[in-house]
Amino acid sequence: MIKEKISKETFKYIEGKVYNIHSYLHEIDMMRYEILHGTGVDVDSPQPGRNSVRAITDEVERKAFDLVEHKKLKRYEQLTSAILKVYDSLIEEKQELIKLYYWKRPGELTWDGVSKELNIGRRTAIRWRKAFIYEIAKELGER
């Protein structure tokens, strides 16, 4: 049973990220590609010319630095990693619920429809979803 609570805003935020995980995975691939192939990505790396920053002249070193230090890339990787880690830890029935509700038919089925599709009670389906989101929040340090 869930002992700790998270705010409604945090719950909705995480749930929104779960809905869009495939977009985030695609974005991660695109950012990595842009960094590695120099297609003009806006990288959060230090700018040469500042007194306190040494300019990176080696191309490989610069790309490695950009991959490690890119803020948006790091945030997306942390988020998708947490979602997939929790998802992978679920039993098959719970994974099917997550796939059906969030990824295969998002917004198409109500909780009654999902529970009917999976042959479980509506309340059980909602409880599984809540536990899934709470575990992601825990993984992200939100609770």
More confident call, 65 vs 24: 24
Spatial neighbors of 51 by CB under 8 A, at least 6 apart, are: none
More confident call, 35 vs 141: 141
- The pLDDT value recorded for residue 105 is 79
Give the whole-number percent of the chain exceeding pLDDT 90. 55
Count of alpha carbons within 13 angstroms of residue 62, beta-carbon side: 16
pTM of the model: 0.75
pLDDT band at 66 (very low <50, low <70, confident <90, very high): low
Cα–Cα separations (whole angstroms), residue 122 to 40, 110, 128: 49, 10, 10
- The pLDDT value recorded for residue 114 is 92
